[in-house]
Chain A
Amino acid sequence: MDIFVTLIQVLDSTIRLATPLLLACLAGLYSERAGIFDIGLEGKMLMAAFFSAAVAAVTGSVWLGLLAGIASSLVLSGLHGLASITFRGNQLISGVAINFLASGLTVLIAQSWFKQGGRTPSLFGGGRFESAEFPYAIGPEDAELTGQPVSELMSDANSIHMVYSELLSGHSILVYVAFLMVPLTWWVLFRTRFGLRLRAVGENPAAVDTAGVSVVGLRFAAVAICGVLCGIAGAYLATALQAGFVKEMTAGRGFIALAALIFAKWRPWHAMWACLLFGLLQAIALRFQNIDLGGVVIPVQAMDALPYILTVVILAGFVGKAVPPRAGGEPYVKER
């Protein structure tokens, strides 16, 4: 039973940790499917994390925080669009610039506003996303009623009830949003006119252009969706997963999301599984900080580095042939 409880807890944590990856990964999916490579996912998430935490701290409303996060991420998306679509600049350089900008600006503004060493004040109450408790799930309220800690109630419950309470229930609303985005994204991409055009513009923008559809308009739409999703991802980090913004809190998640995107070969369902895999790696690293292997203790640093190392291993060895959208990274120039 103990192993089962541990497993459920690790999986629960997997879901929490996979959520920002999934949101960022889907963000990248929209953008890259439209032919705009975006290595600025990290920067957009970071910017959104900061502004959502800052606004939530000042106003006490997490929803205003979320909006601020999305808005800030959208501004960076607009910048990326302007550079890479309107002015046909290099998409990688624009992305790198956005990452630097976010990394510097967030700390600078945080220090100037809050004077707490580049972090925001801790969020509590309405400044954070509460977890949504499903009916009949074991949650903090049951703990109050019975006077027993939640963990004890959990281990007393049967396994189905436990999976329901721990895995499915008790996450912030943004987690459910993220996972609902997967079928929604699939549907949009493969069942709607917008999706057909989006995929076409990433494969051959000339085909879209000669069909009388605006390449620039489509690509900006894709980049804007990317901005919104990155904004939610960042807000989730700062106001749901943790309580407040700290310097560089995205910790490479934007890049892991990109790795997951490649691993998933730009497909929504696969993206979800890839993000869950990377989330699992992070959860394991968090849960088992020091593993004792017959006298040899694996240091905590090695465990922390594990998800990143495995990212490289998976990308190098297990992806197979990943064919990116054909027109990806190339600005569209009309030609005869």
Chain B
Amino acid sequence: MTVPAIELKGISKAFGPVQANKDISISVAPGTIHGIIGENGAGKSTLMSILYGFYKADKGEICINGTKTDIPDSQAAIAAGIGMVFQHFKLVENFTVLENIVLGAEDGGLLAPSLSKARKELKELEEEYELFVDPDKRIDEIGVGMQQRVEILKALYRQAEILILDEPTGVLTPAEADQLFRILDRLRAEGKTIIVITHKLREIIENTDTVSVMRRGQMTATVKTAETSPEELAELMVGRKVLLQVDKVSAKPGKPILEVENLRVFDQAGVERVKGIDLTVRAGEIVGIAGVAGNGQSELLEVLGGMRPGQGSIKLNGEPLALSGHGSDGQARRAQHIAHVPEDRQREGLIMDFHAWENVAFGYHRDPAYQRGLFMDNAALRADTERKIEKFDVRPPNGWLTAKSFSGGNQQKIVVAREIERNPDLLLVGQPTRGVDIGAIEFIHKQIVALRDQGKAILLVSVELEEIFSLSDRIAVMFDGHIMGERLPHETDEKELGLLMAGVAEEAA
């Protein structure tokens, strides 16, 4: 048996009363890809932060290549040959790629020699690992996929032998994610050791050699990937059986609820984001809009939700709705029985510093049920919140907590509860499960399907193809402000949708 590249023995870390990591031991063989999977808040990121010197473990020891190593700060981690690619990239946006790579690893007081040396080494690294980037482009001029490569190159430039990636595919398109894993394969072939932290089961199954599962700060299992299944991993993560497939009967679409004709949307800069869309959503049907982020889906949702003006025509139950000016704002849309779960819950769905019970009222705070004379009836509001918290299994079940003290999944449950419980005719849902753990995903999906089964119309926008497939009764693919085509989920596959998402027209596909 070879000496493990990384060995953690009995790592424990507490933040106040919260035990983030409890007696964690793990051993990673050199030249392998090791996955760490767990729900949000399971302690994965804390563990990796300890390994990268951000936090000091309360107990336990770290061995790198068989030698006990102290990692008090990031500098020590770099010296030990550990490189980290964070979920949120640590890049200076108005620096060039080259400057970012050199930062902190310069050779002397003057920049010029460091930069020219780095340029040369970068070229070698690029050829060795097929990691091509333009060293003179500024970070804010390149896409996220490229930025991630810069992070990987940064680690390699510092001679990292162990590479840790935290939720690396969260911001990538499916194609970019595939590319990333090809790069990781290549790195593994060159003898690097790679740890990938994720909550996406598919990535783990397809790309890792071994996988460790974390739950509530503890390591529940480490298994060979080839000897496990998504179902088993999901169960280990959540601690109970999880339905990976959404259980639903086939849709019985009724009359059209939402009819969109020739809708055009311009952004603040005057750029046309939605370029004449026709779309119908019927009662009792979920229509999923697939597409790479930034192809007009957000703008479509925002116009329908009353967050920005548009041109063209939309009808709800046959009645035309205003697209700008009076009767087109969010308040009006809610009165028109359109509920909206916005894409970015933290910016658009919640006020993070307000209590859960206040957040439950937003948008509906003029509801007579919440009024008592001139004042808000806070008691009624809190009672209502309590009911919703229970029904939607929000944890911890405490309406007095601020929105930001809930986990992502529970924040989303608060938003979904607020919107679904209004019994809308049309529900707009944007990225309902972004940053949401697997248990909560299952719950939220069930609620959406239940609403459909009550005969409501649902328009879903998601960049997760898996989600689109498992929820939608009909799929429309958006590219560059156009709808490239509509498909029925059982008559298409990821490959075909992927081509449509990339703008390849139907004939060619």
A residues contacting B by CB (< 8 A) are 190-197, 199-200, 203-204, 206-213, 326, 334, 336
Contacts and interface: CB of A to CB of B under 8 A. Distances in A.
A336 B46 contact: yes
Contacts of B114: 193
Nearest first, the 7 closest Cβ-Cβ pairs linking A and B are A211-B104, A212-B75, A207-B90, A193-B106, A210-B90, A212-B74, A203-B92
A334 B108 CA distance: 27
B91 A204 contact: yes
A336 B95 CA distance: 23
Contact of A209 (B74, B93, B108): B74
Nearest to B79: A212
Given A203-B92, A203-B94, A336-B45, A197 B104 contact: yes
Contacts, number: 73
A44 B320 CA distance: 64
Highest count of chain B CB atoms <10 Å: which of A192, A210, A336: A210
A268 B49 CA distance: 38
A207 B154 CA distance: 11
Highest count of chain A CB atoms <10 Å: which of B75, B92, B95, B114: B92
A196 B102 contact: yes
Contacts of B92: 199-200, 203-204, 207
A161 to B, nearest CB: 40
Contacts of B74: 209-212
Contact of B90 (A192, A199, A204, A326): A204
Interface in B99-113: 99-100, 102-106, 108-112
Interface string B56-94: 000000000000000001110110000010100011111
B54 interface: yes
Contact of B93 (A191, A197, A204, A212): A204
B109 A194 contact: yes
B93 A326 contact: yes
B112 A336 contact: no
Contacts of B104: 197, 208, 211-213
Contact of A207 (B100, B105, B109): B100
Contacts of B52: 210
Interface string B20-37: 000000000000000000
B339 to A, nearest CB: 33
A215 to B, nearest CB: 11
A205 B205 CA distance: 36
Highest count of chain A CB atoms <10 Å: which of B54, B103, B109: B103
20 contacts: A191-B111, A192-B110, A195-B111, A200-B95, A203-B93, A203-B95, A204-B90, A204-B91, A204-B93, A207-B92, A208-B104, A211-B74, A211-B78, A212-B74, A213-B75, A213-B103, A213-B104, A326-B93, A326-B94, A336-B46
Nearest to B54: A334
Contacts of A200: 92, 95, 103
Given A213-B75, A336-B49, 9 more contacts: A196-B103, A197-B104, A207-B91, A207-B92, A208-B104, A211-B90, A212-B104, A213-B104, A334-B54
A204 B84 CA distance: 16
B109 A192 contact: yes
Contacts of B45: 336
A261 B214 CA distance: 51
Contact of B103 (A191, A211, A334, A336): A211
A102 B111 CA distance: 39
Contacts of A210: 52, 74, 84, 86, 90
Contacts of A326: 93-94
Contacts of B105: 211
B110 to A, nearest CB: 6
A321 to B, nearest CB: 13
Contacts of A207: 90-92, 100, 103
Nearest to B73: A212
Contacts of B77: 212
A195 to B, nearest CB: 7
A222 to B, nearest CB: 16
B75 A193 contact: no
A191 B91 contact: no
Highest count of chain A CB atoms <10 Å: which of B52, B84, B93, B104: B104
A336 B167 CA distance: 12
A213 B158 CA distance: 13
A299 B154 CA distance: 63
A209 B78 CA distance: 12
B53 to A, nearest CB: 8
Highest count of chain B CB atoms <10 Å: which of A195, A207, A208: A207
Nearest to B166: A336
Nearest to A207: B90
A204 B49 CA distance: 18
B230 to A, nearest CB: 26
B46 to A, nearest CB: 7
B31 to A, nearest CB: 25
A208 B177 CA distance: 27
Interface string B145-162: 000000000100000000
Nearest to A201: B92
A218 to B, nearest CB: 11
Contacts of A194: 109
B310 to A, nearest CB: 27
Nearest to B46: A336
Nearest to A203: B92
Nearest to A193: B106
Nearest to A206: B90
B284 to A, nearest CB: 43
